[in-house]
């Protein structure tokens, strides 16, 4: 009997193929089984895998995070308090800014000094609106400090100079006497900020300058030379990577510039086929299956990028940084098409959970990932309408999964049934597990099948345990979502469907659900 574990091994050997999207036509195993070697495991799930991305796009920054100091919406130095509180709760570790495509048009000096003196610009990529530069470096650093996240700043390669990038680093991180450090002090920030993560351009194969991999590799080598470690600050340099399955880009960058980088990015978005409904909330099972199938393909894509990186960097010094990912649908009716404002349903929660399980399982190479985008854009955690705010189903997944941050990945073997739609099938269950510093074990599970519950036996080897608790995120309908009128349609609840039986944890996973279990001694 061929089971999904056997297929998984074959797929890994082939490098780059995943279980998703193939017509497997396999015999189904009789039982779903997850074997966890809980006393083993050496790799840490870097907390930055739970990172986020916020661009000057639509209502992410302006009328999202930033309302300005004079606004009646409660704020601290112009940044909305309710958003800060919500993000603190899920412990977002790192926030990427200012883009995206915006980054390669952004000139940081326009965003410092008294706000009334800051020049405006056109945000050409995102709706052609006027950007007033009221949210700049100081405001971003304040936002990160308020939410407790580390900043990840993306520099301008496409339309910026080496000098401009060099001076931005000096402005942010130098604590001696220098033109840029003095300017920072004049603008009210005496101490330099701690800045670890810096991206040298964004999508430089597209909106960031339409470069070839070969050309960008040289450009990267030049720009990164001037991204210096000043005053004891150490920068983790991230080179722009390819999109999805652009393995050539990874190969060229690793070959030509691998030793000059700490991380190499990739981007991967998931949206339904154009022949299907592209609405975030009005869809049927065809779109449910299509989106989950495509989301799952990132597994094979990461495997293949990893194998290329392994050739040049077998010790895994260079991190793979998935600094943009998430769902991308049509915008909500009557909203600016350039603002990428979309609702967020239970389907997005399943995409998030499935993807985070995949990232966890690749934590030997993936050192950061940033969901696009935190507020009001694409697969957002938070949606706002004037003074109202809702938490999306995706937000709740991050809340449930935060237990994996900086925990040890537990090696696993999953054997599961398929979820079949018409003549295609994908594994019905996705899982990952970790052991935290206190020895607690957390297992995150999703059942992608919208019709059938799945019983899964979790055989946990190597540890004694007595108790299992859990939380579940599900809803009546596949397209259930939270609204400004009713924000609690899709929220986590206590889960009663796990029990200890004959030394195993036996879980009844409801259809279309995400469950996170905590197992303690
Ligand atoms: O997240 C929206 C856009 O998607 C980003 O600006 C760009 O990098 C990507 O194409």
Mean pLDDT, contiguous 10-residue spans, the chain (521 residues): 39 41 62 95 97 98 97 98 98 98 98 97 96 98 98 98 98 98 98 98 98 98 98 98 97 98 98 93 97 98 98 98 98 97 98 98 98 98 98 98 98 96 96 96 98 97 92 98 98 97 95 97 86
Q: Is the shortest distance between the CB of 202 and ligand 1 below 6 Å?
A: yes
Q: How far is the CA of 100 from the centre of ligand 1 (A)?
A: 5
Q: How far is the CA of 291 from the centre of ligand 1 (A)?
A: 19
Q: Please give the pLDDT value at position 30.
A: 87
Q: Please give the pLDDT value at position 20.
A: 59
How far apart are the C-alpha atoms of 88 and 146, rounded to whole Å? Answer: 8
Ligand 1 pocket mutation pick from 59, 106, 372 by most atoms within 8 angstroms of CB: 372
Residue 166: how many CA atoms within 13 Å on its side-chain side? 9
Q: Report the DSSP beta bridge partners of residue 249.
A: none
Q: Please give the pLDDT value at position 130.
A: 97
Q: How far is the CA of 372 from the centre of ligand 1 (A)?
A: 8
Is residue 424 within a helix (H) or strand (E), and if so which, with residue range?
strand 424-427
Asked if 516 contacts 443 with a C-beta cutoff of 8 angstroms, the reply is yes
Torsion angle, CA of 206/143/388/126, rounded to 10 degrees? -20
The residue from 324, 385, 438, 464 that is catalytic is 324
Q: How far is the CA of 520 from the centre of ligand 1 (A)?
A: 41
Q: Please give the pLDDT value at position 26.
A: 58
Q: Please give the pLDDT value at position 266.
A: 98
How far apart are the C-alpha atoms of 410 and 444, rounded to whole Å? Answer: 12
164: annotated active-site residue: no
Among protein residues, the one whose CA lies closest to atom 4 of ligand 1: 100
Is residue 295 within a helix (H) or strand (E), and if so which, with residue range?
helix 285-296
Q: Is the shortest distance between the CB of 105 and ligand 1 below 6 Å?
A: no
For the CA of 202, the closest atom of ligand 1 is 8
What phi and psi values does residue 152 have, to the nearest 5 degrees? Answer: -125, 105
Q: Is the shortest distance between the CB of 323 and ligand 1 below 6 Å?
A: no
Q: Please give the pLDDT value at position 521.
A: 86
Closest listed residue to residue 428, CA positions, set 2, 3, 9: 3
The residue from 203, 282, 284, 285 that is catalytic is 203
Helices (H), 148-209: 162-173, 179-186
Q: Please give the pLDDT value at position 488.
A: 97
How far apart are the C-alpha atoms of 284 and 279, rounded to whole Å? Answer: 10
203: annotated active-site residue: yes
Q: Please give the pLDDT value at position 23.
A: 44
Output the pTM of the full model. Answer: 0.94
Pairing of β 51-53 and β 366-372: parallel
């Amino acid at each position: 009997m061929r089971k999904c574990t056997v297929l998984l091994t074959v797929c890994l050997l082939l490098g780059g193929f995943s279980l998703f999207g193939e017509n497997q036509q396999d015999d189904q195993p009789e039982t779903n089984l997850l074997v966890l070697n809980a006393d083993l495991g050496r790799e840490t799930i870097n907390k930055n895998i739970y990172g986020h991305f916020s661009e000057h796009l639509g209502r992410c920054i302006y009328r999202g995070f930033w309302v300005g100091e004079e606004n009646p919406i409660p704020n601290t130095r112009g940044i909305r308090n309710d958003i800060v509180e919500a993000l603190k709760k899920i412990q977002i570790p790192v926030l990427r800014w200012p883009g995206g495509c915006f980054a390669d048009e952004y000139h940081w000096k326009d965003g410092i000094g008294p706000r009334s003196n800051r020049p405006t610009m056109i945000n050409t990529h995102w709706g052609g609106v006027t950007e007033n530069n009221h949210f700049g470096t100081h405001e971003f650093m304040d936002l990160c400090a308020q939410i407790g996240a580390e900043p990840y700043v993306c520099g301008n390669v496409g339309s910026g100079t080496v000098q401009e990038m060099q001076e931005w680093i000096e402005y942010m991180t130098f604590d001696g006497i220098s033109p840029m450090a003095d300017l920072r002090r004049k603008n009210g920030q005496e101490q330099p900020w701690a800045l670890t993560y810096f991206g040298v351009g964004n999508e430089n194969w597209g909106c960031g300058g339409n470069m070839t991999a070969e050309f960008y590799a040289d450009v990267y080598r030049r720009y990164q030379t001037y991204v210096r470690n000043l005053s004891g600050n150490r920068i983790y340099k991230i080179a722009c990577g390819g999109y999805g399955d652009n393995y050539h880009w990874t190969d060229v960058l690793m070959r030509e510039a691998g030793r000059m980088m700490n991380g190499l990015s990739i981007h991967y978005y998931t949206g339904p086929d154009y022949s299907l409904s592209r609405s975030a909330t009005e869809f049927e099972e065809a779109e449910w299956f299509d989106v989950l199938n495509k989301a799952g393909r990132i597994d094979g894509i990461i495997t293949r990028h990893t194998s290329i990186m392994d050739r040049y960097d077998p010790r895994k010094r260079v991190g793979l940084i998935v600094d943009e990912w998430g769902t991308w649908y049509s915008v909500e009716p009557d909203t600016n098409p350039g603002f990428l404002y979309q609702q967020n349903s239970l389907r997005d929660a399943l995409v998030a959970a499935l993807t985070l399980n995949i990232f966890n399982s690749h934590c030997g190479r993936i050192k950061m990932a940033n969901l696009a985008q935190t507020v009001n854009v694409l697969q957002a955690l938070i949606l706002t309408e004037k003074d109202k705010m809702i938490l999306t189903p995706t937000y709740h997944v991050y809340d449930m999964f935060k237990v994996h941050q900086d925990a040890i990945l537990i090696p696993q073997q999953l054997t599961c049934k398929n979820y079949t739609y018409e003549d295609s099938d994908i594994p019905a269950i996705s899982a990952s597990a970790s052991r935290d510093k206190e020895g607690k074990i957390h297992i995150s599970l999703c059942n992608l099948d919208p019709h059938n519950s799945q019983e899964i036996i979790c055989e946990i080897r190597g540890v004694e345990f007595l108790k299992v608790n859990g939380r579940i995120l599900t809803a009546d309908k596949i397209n259930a979502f939270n609204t400004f009128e009713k924000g609690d349609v899709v929220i986590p609840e206590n889960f009663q469907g796990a029990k200890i039986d004959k030394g195993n944890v036996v879980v009844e996973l409801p259809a279309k659900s995400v469950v996170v279990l905590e197992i303690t001694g």
